């Protein structure tokens, strides 16, 4: 089994490092000082109170690696479209593409969504490039619940969590997803196979679509946001708008809004990825987390006034931050 981690930063390094330690043939696609450090010294993976040095092929040029059985995409969602063409050399006829990114995956409406089947979400996949190059039939869903930090070039530290739910878009227990589940389990992760992976994807997006932009706008951590009655009410309203859309598309939420917010608030002192990107003056995952809700609202005829307002604010916040 050959697995390429495309975007071997914090979470990609965690996944790939543990898979390599379990004996899987892993390779990394990365860039910059992080890539250089891994090429020179290996990946230093800090997990469970110990540090492990993992040495695997590392490159910025996917063509050096050749076709893979699985390609884990662990880039920031808004970075994926710009990297898709470079993924072609990694693909053979049966390569599976695991979308380990935030928000909805490019294959979301593959044989799904009734009247919306085949719809391309431009907020996620501008112009349908991922759909055409990667192919929706290659897609496997993966929800990223754990957190990890890139504390220095070549050094990844596990923060919390080991759960990565997996699922075929069709919901079927295929051979390829069973093999992936077995590899992830051997690597020390919890990787349950879900027949309803879209429900799982929405459950994470449900919190991200409100808490991430609110955090970036206020510079507050999750526990502070959730504890503030007025701000919590705003988050609740955005989630309600998204819930109406999701349920029209057949999604079932296994927990309620208050429980979802309480779960996020229990993570004390945590800065969202969007806030971290803002502080580093990097582009944020705005369209994949929030723009997609507006797009789906327009698609289904459901107004999203609160989402629209926060989306306008966070887009302007990003613009002013990048110009500073």
pLDDT tens digits for 143-155?
A: 999 999 999 999 9
Q: For 11-33, how does the pLDDT look when each residue is reduced to its tens digit (9 = 90+)?
A: 999 999 999 999 999 999 999 99
Q: What's CA 57's distance to the chain center, in Å? A: 23
User: Residue 267 has what pLDDT?
Assistant: 83
Q: Is 76 a catalytic residue?
A: no
What does the block give as tokens for 102? 């935030």
- Alpha carbon distance 274, 280 (integer Å): 10
State which CATH number among 2.40.30.20, 1.10.510.10, 1.20.120.1770, 1.10.1040.10 fits the domain covering 198-323: 1.10.1040.10
Buried b / exposed e along 6-31 (16+ C-beta atoms within 10 A): bbbbbbbbbbbbbbbbbebebbbbbe
Locate CATH 1.10.1040.10 in the chain: 198-323
User: Residue 108 has what pLDDT?
Assistant: 97
User: Residue 270 has what pLDDT?
Assistant: 82
Task: Decide: pTM greater than 0.75.
Answer: yes
What does the block give as tokens for 87? 């993924």
The C-alpha torsion from 293 through 299 and 304 to 310, rounded to 10°, is 40
User: Residue 65 has what pLDDT?
Assistant: 98
State which CATH number among 1.10.10.10, 3.30.830.10, 3.30.300.30, 3.40.50.720 fits the domain covering 2-195: 3.40.50.720
DSSP code of residue 288: I
User: Residue 145 has what pLDDT?
Assistant: 92
pLDDT beneath 50: ranges in the chain:
none
Q: Alpha helices of the chain — where are they, by DSSP H?
A: 10-21, 32-41, 80-83, 129-133, 175-186, 197-218, 222-227, 229-248, 257-265, 273-279, 286, 292-300, 305-323
Give the end-to-end CA distance of the chain in Å, rounded to a whole number.
46
Locate CATH 3.40.50.720 in the chain: 2-195
List 2, 76, 204, 271, catalytic entry: 204
User: Residue 178 has what pLDDT?
Assistant: 98
């Amino acid at each position: 089994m050959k697995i390429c981690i495309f975007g071997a930063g914090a979470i990609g390094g965690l996944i790939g490092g543990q898979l390599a330690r379990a004996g899987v043939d892993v390779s990394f696609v990365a860039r910059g000082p992080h890539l250089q450090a891994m090429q020179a010294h290996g990946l230093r993976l800090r997990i469970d109170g110990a540090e492990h040095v993992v040495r695997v092929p590392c490159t910025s040029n996917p063509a050096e690696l050749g076709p893979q059985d699985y390609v884990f995409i662990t880039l920031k969602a808004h970075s994926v479209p710009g990297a898709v063409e470079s993924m072609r050399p990694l693909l053979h006829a049966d390569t599976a593409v695991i979308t380990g990114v935030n928000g909805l995956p490019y294959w979301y409406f593959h044989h799904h969504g009734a009247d919306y089947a085949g719809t391309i979400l431009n907020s996620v996949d501008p112009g349908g490039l991922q759909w055409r190059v990667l192919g929706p039939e290659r897609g496997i869903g993966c929800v990223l619940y754990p957190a990890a930090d890139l504390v220095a070039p070549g050094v990844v530290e596990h923060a919390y969590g080991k759960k990565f739910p997996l699922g075929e878009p069709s919901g079927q227990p295929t051979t390829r997803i069973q093999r992936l589940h077995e590899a992830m389990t051997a690597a020390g992760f919890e990787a349950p196979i879900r027949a309803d992976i879209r429900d799982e994807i929405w459950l994470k997006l449900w919190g991200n679509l409100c808490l991430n932009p609110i955090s970036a706008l206020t510079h507050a951590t999750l526990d502070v946001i959730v504890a503030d009655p007025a701000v919590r009410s705003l988050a609740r309203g955005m989630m309600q708008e998204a819930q109406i859309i999701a349920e029209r598309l057949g999604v079932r939420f296994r927990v309620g809004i208050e429980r979802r917010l309480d779960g996020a608030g229990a993570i004390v002192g945590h800065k969202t990825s969007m806030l971290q990107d803002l502080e580093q003056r990097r582009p944020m995952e705005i369209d994949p987390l929030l723009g997609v809700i507006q797009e789906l609202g327009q698609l289904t005829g459901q107004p999203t006034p609160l989402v629209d307002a926060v989306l306008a604010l966070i887009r302007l916040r990003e613009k002013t931050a990048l110009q500073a």
